[in-house]
Structure 1
């Protein structure tokens, strides 16, 4: 069927409630047990939420915030807001009270949904500063303050009172009035720099992007099972891991939390997942650590299998050539090696979709070799998000794929990627100046430096504002170097710095588990991790690891000095965005003394690693 003709995702969901009435729509864990709502049940809960919102005075065009981690309540509230023809304003669950205050006030949200008492208490802290908020609705039950009463979603929805025929007709008449041009959401960019901007997306923007993405992948089977763990507050998960599967009659299970993803994969046994590169980095690192500790014969077998797998993938999927006898070798590699890796992904995983940050080429090649391809794509909050995507039929490692249907890309003189298409935002909420600076003559300026090859594959070089220009005038993209460093089993995270400086330096965080093994093996004396990262033998170890990376780089891209930090960068400390991108300005300022020390005449950096 022509999805676009329905004008909104909610109208398609209304149809699915009839077509797939008894089919599983969403699954979530409650009190240790997985619970499933069918499409009919899910849709009824959405209508009840809409009924409650309308009784609470929500009118078309009003803004309603959702301050919650992923869960079924998020989805019911979101579609309930849409059914009331209002506008959803998501807030990352990791946001502080002050960050939430800005979003709530700027959007003038009238109601705030919260997941737990923790989020409610953040709202309570800023109660006097958010005059537009009339009520708080929670997905869990707890006692609120007299200053800020709280109702549950069940109470708002009056779930003990089934919908009457009259109510259903009235509510569905409201849904019928949704137009493709109506705003579906205002998403505030997490932002690696500056004040967040509210991205205005319409029903048409998000509907088109979900349809075009699925079409690019060759369609979606109704028996697909998605495991959702990226924040629904982020547009990638919302479009690719939530809107798209529910539009096509698939099944969405919500992971308990990020820490339980590996466990939930075994329980749900998904067929598709949307992720950011960090998950694949951890998987790759853990597999290679286990191989490193295996007997020599098994190590040799593993490396042989990976080599054969990569040859097979390139021959079949990149060069589109007959595989010949290589197919026999690959069959043996699958049986002896890859068949033991795939169960770690639940046993049914067909593919991953990756976005949000660049995925290292080596890791992607490995995943394809194993038989679980990762389709890397590219987009922005401002583009709903997908603009390009690799597929099983058209893939180039290191690229972010080719453009979706009706989408155009080109590069400006300085290499910045410009785009236009039906998924491009309407502008920034209450910020016409920023809109005018971003959309010029119909083209959206992405802020990313890119190249486009003769086959239309797009390669993202780096963020325009993050390109390092050394004192010698060399332009250096830090992310590829950081990704190379992170492949090392002892390095967890890396931050490369050197703008207007004579050479590049790095802040490195250790893989604590591997570092402790090293300390035990070398019988190092220490009390805490802070002692270890300043130990001479640890410095020597890291010098060797960085030197290995430097050997692959031109001289001006090599890391001359580094500092080892005792812990990872984190969202909680403001160093990462909710989608795990480095907040470069924050990190540079926070560790300014350590960074500048590496450029002192005396060379106070705690490690040197020449090429």
Structure 2
């Protein structure tokens, strides 16, 4: 690769697929049945325990057809919108493919959404039917029945799938086949409402062509095929299927030949990974931070902790050496082999024992974590994408990883860095517009390029670094422009820290609001010989504050003095989805935090 200090403005990665107008997501399923109909496509979590039960592609396709007939029987017409509100599950994917086969448009809703958010999505999308996981979630939609387009609510826990299958028993299969044949590349596949950190969510319209080009160009690409393609490739999805990233993965696995499992969340992730044994995984950086911090905490104190931290240092040093011309030295290789036996094997076992690749997106992954995981034998392919790009926009490639970047453009995608540093995207994966909002659609494009609102740079090889959000740049009283993401990502890597919001707009120096990780706090206290205490007590504990000060000092090493954090306030409460400070994709709602904690911010500066 060329000198990373050399920059460029634009890069394109050619796609590898050949496409025709009649291709669609149902075409992808039919192709899988034709190629390997009697081989597993999914593994369903057993109702009787932690195990997983195989489901062949043919069985899944038969279930899809039966449920699709049920939608026809209910009067759902081609183009009609149907909302799905549930945790990640096999049933969600079944509903997705059944709706696509019936020519309808599934509209995902996060199961954590408020009544106000549910009402907005149902009314704005014009959904005729809502399918929820539980009666409690259904109760959020019921008040809308009859007030607009919404006609009824079905509940999975109350037999919705059985009822749909029964209703469709007398529907001619030819009608579903006719509808499926009428779906093509230009047909609307879904409307995904952005879980934005500010403002009312906008409905992103993604077509079947957006998904088809993404999965074909990815799965057939010689670099990525070794990660996702073939019956020996397995992934466990625990991210919300309301998120575009997980939605892309479910379609990708059907095309690529991989086997996919579902679990509703990451609460029992270690046990689920051990039972499913994935070869690749997709997650947000917070998951990787938790894996590392948990391993560090479980090492305890004394010799075990020193051994873990020695092993972590060896992994990072080894990974960095892989990027040098000479590679790791003989001595470093010997240390790495010893550390693999003493330390790394246990961490790999906690991730299922067979994990080779992980794809990280949604927020920047710290370089240290990237080197750590590669050093223990799990290559993290950091990427970048948005709902409007159908998920992947850039991603690192196996064998060509530049840790600290989000990689070059995804196959079939072009990326440009505008004069103001904004990242622009073009390609067949880019959405067709915001639902019912032509003004916002027009404002989102610059000379045919989608303007992401993110700031970045590009090196001579076309690898992109995301440096912050255009709207989040802080300008201090001294006129210094500061991108908060760099500091926030580094500080959030400390085991005590849950969330960070860097502040200082119009102020004399940079400060930060910090929240503590309630799950990690007890083990950290025990490891440091400190008594048990609540999160609220920890916010004023001298030992905790001293540890955070050291973490701030390490974070500041990445920036100039003018950009460095001079002072922090530790809040007694965390930022969560439940209290309205996190989006479902784990992004902090900065505007809400700055509004509600304005007093704490002013206090940082003596106000």
Q: TM-score, normalised by structure 2?
A: 0.90
1:46 corresponds to: 64
Cα distance in 2 between the residues matched to 1:393 and 1:355 = 19
The alpha-carbon deviation at position 127 of structure 1 amounts to 2.9
The 8 Å contact of residues 45 and 159 in structure 1, kept in 2 or not, is answered as no
1:345 aligns with 2:351: yes
1:377 and 2:395 correspond? no
Distance in 1 of aligned mates of 2:85 and 2:543: 46
How much does 1:289 deviate? Answer: 2.5
Kept in 2: contact 1:205–1:425 (CA 8 A): yes
User: Secondary structure of the residue that 1:94 maps to in structure 2?
Assistant: coil
Task: State yes or no: 1:92 paired with 2:110.
Answer: yes
Alignment of 1:382-401 (within 5 A): 382-401=388-407
- Residues 38 and 522 (structure 1 numbering): CA distance in 2 closer, same or farther, change over 3 Å? closer
1:140 is matched with 157
Distance 2:157 2:217 in 1: 36
Match of 1:147 in 2: none
> Which residue is equivalent to 2:574?
568
Q: Which of 204, 229, 237 is equivalent to 1:228?
A: 237
What's the secondary structure of 1:414's corresponding residue? coil
| Match of residue 461 from structure 1 | 467
Q: Is residue 132 of structure 2 the alignment partner of residue 114 of structure 1?
A: yes
The equivalences for 1:74-93 within 5 A come to 74-93=92-111
2:463 is the alignment partner of 1:445: no
Q: Output aligned runs, 1:75-474, within 5 Å.
A: 75-124=93-142, 126-127=143-144, 130-141=147-158, 152-158=160-166, 161=169, 167-214=172-219, 215=221, 216-219=223-226, 220-239=229-248, 241-291=249-299, 293-295=301-303, 298-299=304-305, 301-316=307-322, 318-319=323-324, 325=330, 327=333, 329-474=335-480
When structure 1 is superposed on structure 2, of 327-336 and 82-91 the one drifting more is 327-336
Gaps of 5+ in 1: 142-150, 602-611
Q: Distance in 2 between matches of 1:549 and 1:395?
A: 24
CA distance, structure 2, for counterparts of residue 537 and residue 339 of structure 1: 32
Q: Does the Cα contact within 8 Å between 2:206 and 2:431 map onto a contact in 1?
A: yes
What TM-score does the superposition give when structure 1 sets the normalisation length? Answer: 0.90
1:491 aligns with 2:497: yes
Q: Deviations for 1:83-132, whole angstroms, at most 9, x for unmatched residues? A: 111111111111011101100100000011111122112123x3368421
The farther-off stretch of 112-121 and 17-26 is 17-26
Q: 1:390 touches 1:402 (CA, 8 Å); kept in 2?
A: yes
Decide whether the 8 Å contact of 1:3 with 1:12 is kept in 2. no
Structure 2: distance between partners of 1:550 and 1:409 = 30
Q: CA RMSD in A?
A: 2.4
Structure 2 regions of 5+ residues with no counterpart? 1-15
Rounded Cα–Cα distance in structure 1 between residues aligned with 2:408 and 2:377: 22
Task: Give the number of equivalent residue pairs.
Answer: 583
1:104–1:130 CA contact under 8 A, matched in 2: no
